């Protein structure tokens, strides 16, 4: 029954700083995790959002890396908000083995995005076991602020998912799986907005958010 206000920042690669697992962070060192969180804390930050998987790392290694990041964050009174997958192929923060689920779906952008096959059933192959293993490992960790199903997910093109049935079913399934393992933490979609995900038609947004699956909304505001 209380309002919680806090400052948060995106440090999407924090878990993998200095790990050598992605060339996108080749100039980072392990010590940069603490240094970056120190600067964030000076800004008044209490929550840091990270992208959790790495396409070049196993689930076990991800769990080890996240545990280290949580310990560093805890020493500074900071909580971590992990997103379980990135919608865009331009980062390495994707599930290993799932590259075939990324396609160039929007002619306006020369990047690959998660396709409909992933939302229909493909997520069960590797993404869901990854989520289950991570959530089980950290279900009692008080430094986890919440879990996010993914970063800026949507079904593209939306016309191939009438009523957004497959997308909403995917979102609800993952949220329920998380809560079945972990009753201690909040769950969010991690979406830009319902409009971005083509859920602003009729009551589609209510179908997503109207039940007990999600605990708060996310909105990403860009200039």
pLDDT in tens, 203-213: 999 999 999 99
State residue 2's pLDDT score: 86
| Alpha-carbon gap, residue 86 to 37, rounded angstroms | 22
Average pLDDT, the chain: 96
Residue 185 has phi, psi (to 5 degrees) of -125, 155
pTM of the model: 0.96
CA 221, chain centre distance (Å): 17
Q: Which two tokens stand for residue 90?
A: 């331009």
Q: Where are the alpha helices (DSSP H) in the chain?
A: 31-42, 59-74, 116-120, 127-138, 165-181, 204-209
Task: Say whether pLDDT at 223 is over 80.
Answer: no
Model confidence over 170-202: pLDDT tens digits? 999 999 999 999 999 999 999 999 999 999 989
Model confidence at 108, pLDDT cuts 50, 70, 90, reads confident
């Amino acid at each position: 029954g209380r309002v919680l206000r806090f400052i948060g920042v995106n440090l999407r690669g924090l878990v993998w700083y200095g790990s050598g697992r992605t060339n996108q962070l080749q100039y980072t060192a392990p010590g940069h995790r603490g240094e970056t969180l120190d600067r964030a804390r000076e800004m008044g930050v209490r929550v840091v959002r990270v992208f959790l998987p790495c396409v070049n790392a196993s689930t076990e290694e991800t769990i080890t890396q996240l545990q280290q990041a949580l310990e560093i964050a805890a020493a500074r009174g900071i909580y971590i908000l992990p997103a379980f997958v990135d919608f865009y192929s331009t980062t390495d923060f994707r599930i290993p083995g799932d590259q075939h689920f990324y396609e160039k779906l929007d002619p306006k952008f020369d990047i690959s995005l998660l396709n409909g096959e992933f939302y229909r059933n493909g997520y069960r192959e590797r993404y869901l076991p990854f989520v289950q293993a991570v959530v089980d490992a950290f279900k009692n960790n008080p430094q986890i602020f919440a879990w996010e199903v993914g970063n800026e997910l949507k079904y593209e093109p939306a016309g191939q998912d009438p009523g957004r049935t497959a997308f909403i079913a995917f979102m609800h399934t993952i949220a329920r799986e998380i809560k079945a393992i972990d009753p201690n933490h909040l769950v969010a979609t991690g979406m830009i907005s319902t409009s971005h995900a083509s859920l602003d038609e009729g009551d589609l947004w209510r179908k997503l958010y109207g039940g007990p699956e999600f605990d708060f909304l996310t909105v990403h505001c860009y200039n």
